[in-house]
């Protein structure tokens, strides 16, 4: 009985081994053949392709018809667009894209292979094929559309300025933070930021955070945004307080120094800042006081340099270093501050240059 | 007397049957791992190798990274490793990072070579060294490069690899840190690839991500970069290439797809700095510090309900130099086996403990019964065969068939790993490479596997006598020169 079982297992394993081996053999042979065909086709047309890209020449001599033609062109065009800043009339390129690549990607989006569909989405992004928008929206509701594809499509639609994106995303799972920040940077602009600020309270928590990140990243400035940020410094939600302070520090502006100082005093007195969880908030407040340099901030920075959290101490020292009299003050603190940690960090920042950090 | 012989015979029969059941279960579990990896990598087959990472490369939201390189007597490889991280065409494609090399009291020219090559100047104030608060051996000096300001080297008293890594973590200023070995060479986009699951993961926090380790021996390299991946001509290295493919592409991908991965290779992994600090850093008095940390993170993840995952991804690649001499391979393997035991022993209360879910009921027993005790069972199998042969009690047809199954099934798994490699990496493109991989896979059961079994049994015995090993020195040629 056992012998028969072992015999059967051996036979099955042998069959599997042979199948994998011959599959790999054929696979490698096909790969080598495809690679050679791709290279041969590219070599034959490289002059015409270069002339097309760099001198606006005709594409008639390298019309892509087969998979390896598209792959060769995708890589060349993709590298070109990644490395060269396109200026002036580039309509001949867009014509080729519309004529040959759009139908190709329509077909690829219907592929059963997940990776082929994803590759199509990456190149739609690379070549900015806005005419694919209806197919992308249709693909979103398809059964085969994975979470990764949805994320790519949302970013693409944001790139194309699709107005109905927030509604379209309503029924979808939340995007990862990184992608949501990226998406927000695509949909908000100096012209549109006030629109989002007005309905800030209606946005979900991740969207609120992403909006603040985008405002910081894109350096957007409006009165309404400034008012929102200063109001959020007293929000009930600690993460919003930190993000608001971080954005204010990046934008480098406060409408009222007095109001900020009052907020600072209130935060200290409330006992909230004694909790270790407040380190992020204190750190960002210190950063803000280094960004908007005022004499009246100095006593607060001198206090924060003796904080129990390393990050807060370091940020306070860094901010002090940014004041014209900062180096001298740090020298004094390195000798006179009652706290040993404060003396050490002050000493450290005398030698460091905040511009190089 | 006859009665005693009969009892011994019965015991042998029962043990043989148990070994057989163990063997069948083992085959089943490996097949299960293969199928898990198969389904994941089949999906990713054909995915473009560059386009998916371009967004991360240009984004200011990509989290910055501290890269820690512990080095002990790495004079042959350390310059190449640093070059592969910071300079010229080999400069990492990662948007923002710092490189912290930690010289763990090397007796050779490691420190002097780095100082000279990268114009390292002492950083006078060292306050920031303990900012993350892990206790370590004393730091003698910290140097910063005048050419590349994001390159540091810390010179410290010898304390072992874990202690060196902890010094690096103390200095790290970014939210994630990567640990790589001093002889490791990375592909320029490896960090973008290893960070992708972290930045694009929606559901759970990612505590750590392991990357793929390939054998560097035989490659054609220049300026700190691998120009062409080639299989070594040396049988002992060739077998290690097959072993690495099987362990990484099949074992680790399979286990990580169910959040059961207990090992991230010290050669290449990324960790969330704050969580590792919360866990107390690497354990300094153990050999398998890389595995121990991952097991501890799993334990804390369950105990403190972080709801986090530990991932493994196939496409970020690093190359490491494999031992070419039996002496060094023996040392490496016995060290690994001891490290495995120490990690399992330290966290033994997780074994079959419902509090730890599948980690306690699947991962820990797998590593203990298969990875640790497997060689003993296998050795016992060989021993009973020899005894039976001497006593003329062997049913040769059966024994032959069992051995054939071992050879064929082992080769099937090896070829399965080659298939996964073809789908995701496709580093070895020649048909002759495939033929060589098959031939060596078929030969494994005749020489390499028994050798590994005996060495690991020796390691198990030495564990009983508690003999210790250090960093695991190896004569290196340098893989990136």
Q: What is the pLDDT of residues B309-360, one digit of tens each?
A: 999 999 888 898 899 999 999 999 999 999 999 999 999 999 999 999 999 9
How far does CA B341 lie from the centroid of its chain?
Answer: 15
Q: Is B71 helix (H, G, I), strand (E, B) or coil?
A: strand
Determine the average pLDDT of the residues in B402-419. 93
With CA atoms as reference, report the closest residue to B106 among B471, B481, B479, B476: B471
Q: How many angstroms separate the CA atoms of A70 and A62, rounded?
A: 10
Contact list in B for residue A345 (CB cut-off 8 A) is 127
Partners of A181 on chain B (C-beta within 8 Å) are 61
Determine the Cα–Cα distance for residues B44 and B6; give it in Å rounded to an integer.
57
Confidence bin at B202 (pLDDT 50/70/90): low
Q: What percent of chain B has pLDDT over 70?
A: 93
Q: Which residues are registered as beta bridge partners of B190? A: none
Host H or E run for residue B65: strand B65-71
State the Cα–Cα distance between residues B198 and A155, nearest whole angstrom.
Answer: 18
Interface of B with A in 373-432 (CB under 8 A): 397-398, 401-402, 404-405, 408-409, 411-412, 415-416, 418-419, 422, 426, 429-431
In a domain, B3, yes or no: no
Shared-domain flag, residues B39 and B55: no
Contact A32 B415 (CB under 8 A): no
Kindly determine whether residue A213 and residue B61, on different chains, have CB atoms separated by under 8 Å. Answer: yes
For residues B375 and B369, what is the distance between their CA atoms, to the nearest angstrom? 10
Higher confidence at residue A300 or residue B187? A300
Q: Using one digit for the tens of pLDDT, what is the confidence trace for A112-164? A: 999 999 999 999 999 999 999 999 999 999 988 999 999 999 999 999 999 88
Q: Kindly report the CA angle at B230 between B228 and B234, in degrees rounded to 5?
A: 150
Distance (Å, rounded) from C-alpha B36 to C-alpha A32? Answer: 28
Integer CA distances (angstroms), B190 to A86, B53, B266, B319, in order: 29, 10, 15, 11
* Residue spans of alpha helices (H) in chain A: 2-55, 67-83, 91-96, 102-109, 114-127, 133-140, 147-159, 165-170, 177-187, 193-198, 205-217, 223-232, 238-251, 257-269, 279-291, 298-304, 310-321, 326-336, 340-351
Contact B401 A347 (CB under 8 A): no
Helix (H, G, I), strand (E, B), or coil: what is residue A115?
Answer: helix
Closest Cα of chain B to A350: distance in Å?
A: 10
* Residue among B16, B64, B170, B415 with most chain A CBs within 10 A, to mutate: B415
Say which of B200, B409, B422 has its CB closest to residue A179: B200
Say what the pLDDT of residue B126 is.
Answer: 53
A175 vs B44, B202, B430: nearest CB: B202
3-state SS, residue A172: coil
B44–chain A Cβ distance below 8 A for any pair: yes
- A15 inside 8 A of chain B by CB: no
Which of B48, B149, B150 is the best residue to mutate to test the A interface, defined by the most A CB atoms within 10 Å of its own CB? B48
Helix, strand or coil, per DSSP, at residue A116: helix
Give the span between the Cα atoms of B117 and A275, in whole angstroms: 46
Same domain for B31 and B80: no
Confidence category of residue B413, pLDDT binned at 50, 70, 90: very high
**Per-residue pLDDT averaged across A59-63, rounded?**
89
Residue B470 lies in a domain: no
CB-nearest to B127 from A17, A25, A344 is A344
The residue of B127, B131, B442 whose CB has the most chain A CBs within 10 angstroms, and thus the best one to mutate to test that interface, is B127
Chain A residue numbers with beta carbons less than 8 Å from the beta carbon of B430 are 28
In this structure, are B131 and B217 located in the same domain?
A: yes
Question: Looking at the domain assignment, is residue B481 inside a domain?
Answer: no
- Which of 82-101 (A) contact B at CB < 8 A? 82
Q: How many domains does chain B have?
A: 2
Tokens 């207990």 belong to: B262
**Consecutive H or E run containing B413:** helix B396-424
Residue B322 lies in a domain: yes
Is residue B480 over pLDDT 50? no
Torsion over CA: B351, B357, B359, B365 (sign): positive
| Measured CA distances, B117 to B38, B82, B109, B120, B164 (Å) | 45, 10, 12, 8, 22
CA distance A17 to A6: 16
pLDDT for res B179:
93
Task: Please give the Cα distance from A174 to B424 (Å, whole number).
Answer: 29
- Cβ-Cβ contacts under 8 Å for B112 (sequence gap 6 or more): none
Q: Which of residues 276-315 of B touch A (CB under 8 A)?
A: none
**In chain B, what residues touch A213 (CB-CB under 8 Å)?**
61
pLDDT recorded at residue B481: 38
Alpha-carbon span B26 to B23, nearest angstrom? 5
Asked if residue B330 is part of any domain, the answer here is yes
CATH number for the domain spanning B215: value is 3.90.550.10
**Pairing mode, strands B308-320 and B205-215:** parallel
CA closest to A114 among chain B residues:
B43
A151 touching chain B per CB within 8 A: yes
Condensed to tens digits (0 to 9), the pLDDT of residues B7-28 reads 877 887 788 788 888 988 999 9
Q: B124 at the A interface (CB within 8 A)? A: yes
Burial readout B409-446 (b: 16 or more C-beta within 10 A, e: otherwise) = bbbbbbbbbbbbbbbbbebbeeeebbebbbebbbbbbe
Q: Does an H or E element contain B412, and which?
A: helix B396-424
Query: What number of C-beta contacts closer than 8 Å exist between A and B?
Result: 127
In a domain, B24, yes or no: yes
Q: Which fold has domain A174-255?
A: 1.25.10
Q: Are residues B101 and B184 in the same domain?
A: yes
Q: Is B471 a residue whose pLDDT tops 80?
A: no
Give me the pLDDT at residue B90, please. 44
User: Which of A3, A5, A6 is the mutation pick for testing B, counting most B CBs within 10 A?
Assistant: A6
Judgement on whether residues B129 and B205 belong to the same structural domain of the protein: yes
Strands (E), B286-405: 308-320
Asked if the C-beta of B43 comes within 8 angstroms of chain A's C-beta atoms, the answer is yes
Instruction: With CA atoms as reference, report the closest residue to A315 among A294, A290, A295, A333.
Output: A290
- Please indicate, yes or no, if residue B272 is contained in any of the structural domains: yes
Residues B301 and B223 in one domain: yes
Residue B200 touches chain A, beta carbons under 8 Å: yes
B431 neighbourhood in chain A, CB within 8 Å:
25, 28-29, 32
- The closest alpha carbon to B477, from B70, B72, B74, B69, belongs to B74
Helix (H) or strand (E) holding B70: strand B65-71
Confidence of residue B479 (pLDDT cuts 50, 70, 90): very low
Residue B469 has pLDDT above 70, yes or no: no
Collect contacts of A216-219 with beta carbons under 8 A, ≥24 apart.
A216/A246, A216/A247, A216/A250, A216/A251, A217/A181, A217/A185, A217/B60, A217/B61, A218/A185, A218/A188, A218/A189, A218/A190, A219/A250, A219/A251
In a domain, B474, yes or no: no
| Domain match, B324 and B308 both | yes
How remote is the C-alpha of A267 from its chain's centroid?
A: 32
Question: Which residues span the domain enclosing B389?
Answer: 12-44+367-464
Least confident of A44-53, A58-67, A174-183, B466-475: B466-475
Domain check: are B35 and B56 in the same one? Answer: no
- Cβ atoms of residues A225 and A197 within 8 Å: yes
Residue A174 DSSP label: P
Kindly report which listed range (A138-142, A182-186, A338-342, B297-301) carries the lowest average pLDDT score. A338-342
Using alpha carbons, select from B431, B424, B351 the residue that is nearest to residue B40: B424
Q: Is residue A181 less than 8 Å (CB to CB) from chain B?
A: yes
User: Are A175 and B201 a contacting pair at CB < 8 A?
Assistant: no
Considering only CA atoms, which of B405, B415, B426, B38 is closest in space to residue A23?
Answer: B415
Is A6 part of the contact surface with chain B (CB cutoff 8 Å)? yes
Mean of all residue pLDDT scores within chain B: 88
So what's the pLDDT on residue B472? Answer: 53
Task: Compute, in degrees rounded to 10, the torsion defined by CA atoms B299, B300, B301, B303.
Answer: 90
Within an 8 Å CB–CB cutoff, is residue A26 touching chain B?
no
Q: Same domain, yes or no, for B374 and B343? A: no
Strands B97-104 vs B65-71: parallel, antiparallel or unpaired: parallel
Helix (H) or strand (E) holding B85: helix B78-86
Residue A355 carries which DSSP code?
G
Cβ separation of B409 and A114 shorter than 8 Å?
no
Interface touch A348/B128, C-beta < 8 Å? yes
Proportion of chain A above pLDDT 90, given as a percent = 69
Q: Are residues B455 and B327 in the same domain?
A: no
Of the residues B288, B322, B354, the one at which a domain ends: B354
Do B253 and B113 fall into the same domain? yes
Q: Is the pLDDT of residue A205 over 80?
A: yes
Q: Output phi, psi for A214, to 5 deg.
A: -65, -40
Q: On the CB side of B464, how many CA atoms lie within 13 Å of its CA?
A: 5
Q: Which residues contact A66 (CB under 8 A, 6 or more apart)?
A: none
Q: What is the pLDDT of residue A94?
A: 86
Angle between helices B190-199 and B51-58 (to 10 degrees): 80
Identify the weakest region by mean pLDDT among A91-100, A145-154, A255-264, B61-70: A91-100
* B69, β-bridge pairs: B101
Residues B222 and B108 in one domain: yes
């Amino acid at each position: 009985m056992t012998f028969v079982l072992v015999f059967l297992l051996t036979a099955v394993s042998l069959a599997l081994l042979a199948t994998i081996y011959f599959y790999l053999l054929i696979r490698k042979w096909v790969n080598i053949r495809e690679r050679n065909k791709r290279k041969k086709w590219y070599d034959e047309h490289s002059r015409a392709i270069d002339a097309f890209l760099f001198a606006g020449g005709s594409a008639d001599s390298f019309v892509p018809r087969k998979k390896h033609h598209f792959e060769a062109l995708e890589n060349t065009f993709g590298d070109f667009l990644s490395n060269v800043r396109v200026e002036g009339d580039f309509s001949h390129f867009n014509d080729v894209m519309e004529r040959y690549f759009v139908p190709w990607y329509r077909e690829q989006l219907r592929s059963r292979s997940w990776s082929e569909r994803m590759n199509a989405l990456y190149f739609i992004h690379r070549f900015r094929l806005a005419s694919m928008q209806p197919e992308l929206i249709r693909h979103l509701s398809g059964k085969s559309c994975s979470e990764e594809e949805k994320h790519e499509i949302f970013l693409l639609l944001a790139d194309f300025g699709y107005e109905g994106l927030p509604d379209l995303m309503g029924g979808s799972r939340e995007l990862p933070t990184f992608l949501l920040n990226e998406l927000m940077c695509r949909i908000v602009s100096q012209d549109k930021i006030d629109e989002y600020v007005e309905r800030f309270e209606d946005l979900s928590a991740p969207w609120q955070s992403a909006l603040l990140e985008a405002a910081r990243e894109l350096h957007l400035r409006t009165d309404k945004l400034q008012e929102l940020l200063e109001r959020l410094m007293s929000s009930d939600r600690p993460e919003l307080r930190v993000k608001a302070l971080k954005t204010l520090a990046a934008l480098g502006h406060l409408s009222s120094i007095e109001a900020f100082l009052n907020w600072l005093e209130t935060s200290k007195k409330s006992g909230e800042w004694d909790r270790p969880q407040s380190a992020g908030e204190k750190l960002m407040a210190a950063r803000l006081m280094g960004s908007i340099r005022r004499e009246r901030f100095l006593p607060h920075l001198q206090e924060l340099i003796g904080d129990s959290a390393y990050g807060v101490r370091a940020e306070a020292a860094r901010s002090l270093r940014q004041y014209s009299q900062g180096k001298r003050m740090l020298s004094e603190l390195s000798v006179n501050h009652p706290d040993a940690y404060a003396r050490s960090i002050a000493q450290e920042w005398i030698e460091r240059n905040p511009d190089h950090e | 007397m006859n009665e005693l012989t009969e009892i011994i015979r019965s015991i042998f029969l029962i043990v043989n049957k148990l070994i057989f059941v163990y063997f069948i279960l083992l085959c089943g579990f490996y097949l299960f791992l293969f199928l898990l990896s198969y389904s994941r990598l089949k999906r990713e087959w054909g995915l473009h190798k560059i386009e998916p990472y371009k967004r991360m490369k240009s984004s200011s939201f990509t989290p910055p990274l501290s890269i820690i390189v512990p080095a002990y007597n790495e004079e042959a490889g350390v310059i190449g490793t640093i070059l592969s991280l910071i300079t010229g065409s080999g400069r990492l494609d990662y948007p923002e990072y710092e490189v912290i090399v930690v010289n763990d009291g090397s007796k050779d020219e490691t420190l002097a070579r780095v100082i000279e090559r990268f114009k390292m100047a002492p950083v006078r104030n060292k306050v920031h060294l303990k900012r993350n608060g892990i206790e370590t051996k004393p730091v003698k000096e910290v140097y910063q490069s005048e050419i590349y300001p994001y390159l540091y080297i810390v010179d410290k008293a010898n304390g072992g690899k874990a202690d060196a890594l902890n010094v690096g973590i103390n200095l790290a200023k970014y939210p994630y840190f990567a640990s790589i070995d001093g002889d490791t060479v990375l592909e320029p986009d490896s960090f973008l690839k290893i960070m992708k699951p972290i930045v694009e993961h929606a559901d759970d926090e990612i505590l750590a991500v392991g990357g793929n380790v390939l054998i560097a021996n035989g490659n054609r390299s220049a300026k700190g970069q691998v120009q062409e991946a080639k299989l070594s001509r040396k049988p002992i290295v060739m077998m290690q290439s097959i072993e690495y493919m099987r362990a990484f592409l099949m074992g680790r991908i399979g286990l990580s797809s169910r959040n059961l991965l207990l090992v991230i290779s010290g050669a290449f992994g990324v960790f969330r700095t704050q969580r590792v600090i919360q866990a107390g850093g690497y354990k300094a008095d153990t050999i398998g510090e890389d595995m121990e940390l991952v097991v501890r993170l799993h334990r804390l993840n369950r105990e403190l309900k972080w709801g986090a995952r530990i991932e493994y991804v196939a496409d970020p690649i690093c190359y490491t130099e494999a031992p070419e001499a039996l002496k060094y391979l023996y040392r490496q393997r016995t060290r690994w086996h001891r490290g495995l035991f120490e990690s399992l022993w330290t966290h033994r209360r997780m074994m079959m403990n419902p509090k730890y879910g599948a980690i306690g009921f699947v991962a820990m027993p797998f590593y203990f019964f298969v990875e640790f005790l497997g060689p003993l069972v296998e050795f016992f199998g060989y021993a009973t065969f020899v005894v039976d042969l001497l006593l003329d009690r062997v049913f040769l047809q059966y024994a032959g068939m069992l051995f054939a199954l071992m050879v064929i099934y082992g080769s099937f798994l090896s070829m399965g790993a080659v298939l996964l490699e073809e789908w995701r990496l496709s580093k070895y493109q020649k048909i002759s490479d495939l033929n060589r991989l098959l031939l060596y896979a078929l030969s494994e059961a005749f020489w390499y596997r028994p050798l590994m079994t005996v060495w690991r049994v020796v390691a198990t015995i030495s564990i009983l006598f508690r003999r210790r090993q250090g960093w695991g020195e190896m004569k290196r040629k340098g893989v990136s020169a």
